[in-house]
Amino acid sequence: MILASPYQQSVAEYWNREKDPVNIRLGDVDGTYHHHYGIGAVDPSVLEGPEETREQRVIAEMHRLETAQATFLIDNLGEVPTSGRVLDAGCGRGGTSFMAHERFGCGVDGVTISESQVAFATEQAERRGVAERVRFHLTNMLDTGFETGAYQAVWNNESTMYVNLDDLFAEHSRLLARGGRYVTITGCYNDTYGLPSRAVSEINARYICSVHARGSYLRSMLAHRLVPISVVDLTAATIPYWELRATSSVATGIEDSFLTAYRDGSFQYLLIAADRV
Ligand code: GPP
Ligand code: MG
């Protein structure tokens, strides 16, 4: 059974319906469609120049920052041989999957519980001529049924907030070869402040997700033979993306919650990389 609960059903429904310009128009810039946020400094020149073309410059800039985020995640996967296999857990429309294939030439499996996302990403793979090597599956990342120990790398690019971490890392640990690499980029709440702040709760409600505490990631990884090799706080690096997004024509209304939560320290944007021991 792919959808194991009423909760998972509602998440699948959200993503099956989702066609937000903030994702489609950014993806249209170069044909790589992301479902995550951006990192890095905004090029101030996008706000200058002719008024008539400013909107398109801002969209292209947001897309550049989102692509920089996926590039940073892939940088942390280590070396993956061309003969290797990697898993994109919660692959969305396939952006990070295609970028990883371009980087390593390896086989990629992307999994999502949204039929529309599988269809969209598969169509992209065909159009790019990589459908033999980059495959998308309507599969639950908690219970993939894929071969044990077959993966050199597994990642979650902003998809861990939809699942129980112990269930997730048990499955990742099973799929990864010994010495394989796990990477996540995620928003998490700061345990220093106790439970999630109001702004974090607004984010949870907006996406039907449940962001975890920073400490929960590290405890759960260690409990499942995933030993962290780096933890990078990307909070300061993602704020410029949100500031630009807040003033853009494709803002969705959640921007102030992210900015408040990041600025008051109750929420953190982290990369965590771990080795499967
Ligand atoms: C969506 O990316 C990512 C999530 C819903 C995960 C929540 C992430 C956190 C850091 C809490 P998206 O690109 O589909 O979102 P949007 O439509 O807002 O751009
Ligand atoms: Mg987006």
Q: State which H helix or E strand residue 270 sits in.
A: strand 267-276
User: What pLDDT, on the 0 to 100 scale, is given for residue 134?
Assistant: 98
Per-residue pLDDT of the chain (277 residues; tens, 9 = 90+): 789 899 999 999 999 999 999 999 999 999 999 999 999 999 999 999 899 999 999 999 999 999 999 999 999 999 999 999 999 999 999 999 999 999 999 999 999 999 999 999 999 999 999 999 999 999 999 999 999 999 999 999 999 999 999 999 999 999 999 999 999 999 999 999 999 999 999 999 999 999 999 999 999 999 999 999 999 999 999 999 999 999 999 999 999 999 999 999 999 999 999 999 9
Do the Cβ atoms of 117 and 92 come closer than 8 Å?
Answer: yes
Give just the sign of the alpha carbon dihedral 49, 51, 52, 57: positive
> 14 in ligand 1 pocket by Cβ < 6 Å?
no
Residue 83 included in any domain: yes
Residue 112 included in any domain: yes
Count Cβ atoms within 10 A of the Cβ of residue 194 and give its class: 0-12 exposed, 13-18 middle, 19 or more buried: exposed
User: What pLDDT, on the 0 to 100 scale, is given for residue 199?
Assistant: 97
CATH classification at residue 92: 3.40.50.150
Ion ligand 2: protein residues whose beta carbon lies under 5 Å: 22-23
> Which one of 25, 33, 35, 206 would you pick to mutate in the ligand 1 pocket, going by the greatest count of ligand atoms within 8 A of its CB?
35
User: What pLDDT, on the 0 to 100 scale, is given for residue 49?
Assistant: 87
Do the Cβ atoms of 118 and 18 come closer than 8 Å?
Answer: no
Do the Cβ atoms of 106 and 80 come closer than 8 Å?
Answer: yes
> 137 in ligand 1 pocket by Cβ < 6 Å?
no
User: What pLDDT, on the 0 to 100 scale, is given for residue 200?
Assistant: 97
Ligand 1 midpoint to CA 187 (Å): 10
Domain that includes residue 127, residue range: 6-276
pTM: 0.98
* Integer-rounded Cα radius of gyration of the chain: 18
Distances (CA, A) of 1 to 125, 128, 136, 138: 26, 31, 17, 11
Do the Cβ atoms of 187 and 268 come closer than 8 Å?
Answer: yes
Residue 1 included in any domain: no
Q: How far apart are CA 74 and CA 101, in angstroms?
A: 10
Ligand 2 midpoint to CA 24 (Å): 8
Contacts of 192 (CB under 8 A, 6+ apart): 265
Atom 8 in ligand 1: residue holding the nearest Cα: 158
Q: Which of 112, 98, 79, 90 is nearest to 180 (CA)?
A: 79
Tally of domains within the chain: 1
Measure CA of the first residue to CA of the last residue in the chain; give whole Å: 30
Do the Cβ atoms of 74 and 68 come closer than 8 Å?
Answer: no
Atom 10 in ligand 1: residue holding the nearest Cα: 187
Residue 173 included in any domain: yes
Ligand 1 atom with the smallest distance to the CA of 269 is 10
